[in-house]
DNA sequence: TTGTATGCGTTATCAG
DNA sequence: CTGATAACGCATACAA
């Protein structure tokens, strides 16, 4: 297997008795070049199988048309959708996407961000890991004038664009819906409160209770129930109470809601008659459980596109815009698990 | 917002009254440098907030430690799992991952591959789009001595490593299982036969019928039913036959199987008593439908890891290894939708 | 061990 | 319109 040398602009310049600079101009579609020579160059370039060396070009131009993405997990519906939406936008602009997953680990998040900085990417899109630490790595990104866009799980104190769902509102509406359906003891499955999004969801829950004259009962709020397994455990406990809840809002995820559903079904509790359930995220499976699970759609694909557009818009304005927070309005999807009227 | 210049090795060389080469050596942990000066360089580099310019380094070294991935859709469970598994391996080796999605379009696949070639990536991992065309773009990858690994949907004629499931065997076993459960008229939902994987699955189906003395009946084989909607349409047709099938093997996907389940349920057909169903891919939702859907697990995360390992292994052997096909053995997951004994 | 010089493949600047 | 030349930031062969 021979190591084949790539053909460079010099090779094709030599062949045509031209200067490399002319070849470069032809290839970059400059207007400072004769139309005929341009055509000739293009033709021979194709013949010689020329492909530009992006690294050299980017080094010279001092910028790298790629966007780095750091997410907790690539293979989660929400995140892979964000990426898919983002890719849609970046592809059309000729930008590349470099992906890192933090696995919810701060150290890996830092490593990923640094790798992206080293590559001189034009922007970094991030949703921070559950395990948190110093935000120096992100501050560095800003110092180096790399566009930084946070989404979903954001660090508020950093002055960046943020694309988030209105968690408070979504949560409020979910609880209001449960109240409207006649549920009176509504339990909450909480996520890690270090993450902003979960605090907001809790506040939305509390606000809805307050606004409708319901008492806040500590024993109905169950911390850290954000997987199917933890949701199941939480449900078992809640249903064992002297006066158990008549509805459970799994503000953490649909997976937690699924845990609720399975445990409750196993106990022979009728849903939605005896127990209302609402999840969060509109995972595909919520549509096909029995009963189907009410949930909140976060418009993840649109979010990805919004992030991409924001990046290019900010680039054009070269960072002179005020970094604002874009709120994607989530939508309550009412299904059978919470409809008893 | 000031455009901040990145500090380079020259900056830190100047500050320390050293040559840039010495700084470079210190930073790259060379042994041809005094331990003290190395420590000094490292220290000041940190102080000056130095980050290596990967593009310059890669250009000089003539290689780019990143792997490009081209998949039809990022946000599909199977593919995002492949990526997650792959990322696990590449991260540990300090490699980056660049992701492109073809959206099942040949033109986008070509564009993606070319972009990756331009970036001089060390390897490309691809699962080809349903819409097929010339394979010149992939041949180019080989000509340029870039590692090419195909997975799942592969072009057989190309001499590359291939990581695939044994589709034939999985399909065979699924059908055998249905036969063992006493089903006698087993229908097949086929995928686009241009794709190798779907031809193999069909052959597995045919082989199983043949080996068990069942006649092959053209009217039981339904082409191009690889989405939930198409699966539903196919099912409606099949169930309307004079002598309808008593089992349906959705060899295309679990989504198609879901379409089957929904249509059959709506018609009041009892599953698995009157109709057996088996899907393909072990999507998370197959576990929670009612009844749960029998399916085939492809071990996607492991596949991703295998691909990664293969890349590095091949790199070390500098391509002298014979390009073989790695067969990941899929596993039949028997659930309620096909168990009536 | 350290410094000097050169080149990786492009693009931008300046003359012609 | 075209050619010569420098520079992007780093790594290496060679000399000291």
Q: pLDDT-derived band of residue B120, with 50, 70 and 90 as boundaries? A: very high
pLDDT-derived band at B12, boundaries 50, 70, 90: very high
Residue A319 has what pLDDT? Answer: 57
Q: Does B258 touch chain A (CB under 8 A)?
A: yes
**CB contact A317 to B (< 8 Å):** no
Q: CA-to-CA distance for B204 and B200, rounded, in angstroms?
A: 6
Query: Are B155 and B172 members of one domain?
Result: no
Q: Is the CB of A37 under 7 A from strand C?
A: no
Mean pLDDT of B57-75: 95
pLDDT of residue A314: 86
Whether residue A181 sits in one domain with residue A161 = no
For residues A92 and A42, state if they share a domain: no
CA distance readout (Å), B233 to A183, B217, B219, B222, B326 = 39, 19, 15, 10, 36
* Same domain, residue pair A180 and A286: yes
In a domain, A82, yes or no: yes
Number of structural domains (chain A) is 3
CATH number of the CATH domain containing A214: 3.40.50.2300
> pLDDT tens digits, residue range A10-23?
999 999 999 999 99
The reply to whether A68 and A137 lie within a common domain is yes
Domain identity same for B73 and B179? no
pLDDT in tens, A216-237: 999 999 999 988 899 999 999 9
Q: Considering the domain boundaries, does residue A221 fall inside one?
A: yes
Q: Residue A285: which pLDDT band, with cuts at 50, 70 and 90?
A: confident
Q: Is B151 exposed, middle or buried (0-12, 13-18, 19+ CB in 10 A)?
A: buried
Q: Which of B193, B336, B212 is nearest to B252 (CA)?
A: B193
Q: Per-residue pLDDT averaged across B17-39, rounded?
A: 94
Residue in chain B lying closest to A143 (CA): B4
Note whether A18 and A111 are same-domain residues. Answer: no
A176 and A264 in a single domain? The answer is yes
- Average of pLDDT values for B63-67? 94
Q: What is the dihedral of CA A239, A240, A241, A245, to 10 degrees?
A: 10
Q: Would residue A131 count as lying in a domain?
A: yes
pLDDT of A242-259, one tens digit each? 999 999 999 999 999 999
Confirm whether B321 is domain-assigned.
yes
B277 CA – D6 C1', rounded, Å: 70
Q: Residue B119: its chain A contacts at CB < 8 A?
A: 54-55, 96
Given this model, what pLDDT does residue A3 score?
A: 47
Is residue A51 predicted with pLDDT exceeding 80? yes
Nearest CA in chain A to B5: A144
Quick check: A44 contacting B, CB < 8 Å? no
Residues A136 and A110 reside in one and the same domain = yes
Looking at the complex, does the CB of residue B101 fall below 8 Å from at least one CB of chain A?
yes
Q: Does some domain include residue B212?
A: yes
Query: Which residues does chain A have within 8 Å of residue B49's beta carbon, measured at their own beta carbons?
Result: 140, 143
* B58 belongs to a structural domain: no
- Domain enclosing residue A15, as ranges: 9-52
% of chain A beyond a pLDDT of 90: 86
A112 contact residues in B (CB cutoff 8 A)? 91
Q: Can you give the distance from the CA of residue B23 to the C1' of nucleotide C8 in angstroms?
A: 19
- What does the pLDDT look like over A55-111, one tens digit per residue? 999 999 999 999 999 999 998 889 999 999 999 999 999 999 999 999 999 999 999
Q: Which long-range contacts (CB under 8 A, 24 or more apart) does A37-40 make?
A: A40/A16
CB contact under 8 A, A55 and B53: no
- Let me know whether B104 and B157 are in one domain: yes
- Calculate mean pLDDT across residues B135-153: 93
- Which residues of chain A make contact with B144, given a CB cutoff of 8 A? 4, 6, 51
Q: Which nucleotide's C1' atom has the smallest distance to the CA of B19?
A: C3
Q: What is the mean pLDDT of chain A?
A: 93
Tally the residues of chain B: 341
Q: Is the CB of A18 under 7 A from strand D?
A: yes
Q: What is the pLDDT of residues B206-258, one digit of tens each?
A: 999 999 999 999 999 999 998 889 999 999 999 999 999 999 999 999 999 99
My answer on whether A14 and A82 are in the same domain is no
pLDDT of residue B264 exceeding 80, the answer is yes
Q: Is the pLDDT of residue B320 over 80?
A: no
Q: Is the CB of B48 less than 7 A from some atom of nucleic acid strand D?
A: no
pLDDT at B323 over 80: no
**B59 domain-assigned:** no
User: Is the domain of A110 the same as that of A139?
Assistant: yes
Domain contains B132: yes
């Amino acid at each position: 297997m021979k190591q084949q040398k790539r053909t460079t602009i010099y090779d094709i310049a030599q062949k045509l008795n031209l200067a490399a600079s002319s070849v470069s101009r032809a290839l970059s579609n400059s207007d400072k070049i004769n139309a005929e020579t341009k055509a000739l160059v293009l033709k021979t370039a194709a013949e010689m199988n020329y492909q530009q060396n992006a690294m050299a070009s980017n080094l010279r131009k001092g910028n790298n048309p790629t966007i780095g993405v750091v997410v907790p997990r690539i293979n989660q519906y929400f995140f892979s959708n964000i990426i898919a939406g983002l890719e849609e936008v970046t592809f059309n602009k000729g930008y590349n996407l470099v992906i890192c997953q933090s696995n919810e680990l701060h150290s890996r998040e830092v490593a990923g961000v640094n790798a992206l900085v080293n590559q001189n990417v034009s922007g970094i899109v991030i949703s921070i890991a559950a395990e948190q630490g110093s935000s120096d790595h992100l501050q560095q990104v800003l110092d180096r004038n790399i566009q930084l866009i946070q989404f979903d799980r954001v660090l508020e104190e950093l002055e960046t664009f943020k694309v988030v769902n209105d968690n408070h509102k979504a949560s409020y509406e979910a609880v209001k819906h449960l109240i409207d359906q006649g549920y009176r003891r509504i339990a909450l499955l909480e996520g890690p409160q270090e993450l902003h999004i979960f605090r907001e969801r809790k506040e939305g829950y509390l606000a809805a209770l307050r606004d409708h004259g319901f008492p806040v009962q500590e024993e109905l709020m169950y911390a850290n129930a954000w997987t199917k397994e933890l949701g199941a455990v939480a449900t078992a406990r809640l249903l064992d109470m002297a006066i158990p809840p008549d509805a459970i809002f799994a503000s953490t995820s649909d997976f937690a809601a699924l845990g609720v559903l399975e445990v409750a079904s196993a106990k022979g509790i009728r849903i939605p008659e005896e127990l209302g359930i609402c999840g969060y995220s509109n995972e595909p499976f919520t549509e096909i459980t029995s009963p189907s699970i009410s949930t909140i759609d976060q418009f993840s694909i649109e979010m990805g596109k919004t992030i991409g557009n924001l990046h290019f818009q900010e680039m054009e304005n070269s960072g002179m815009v005020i970094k604002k927070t874009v709120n994607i309005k989530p939508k309550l999807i009412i299904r059978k698990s919470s409809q008893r009227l």
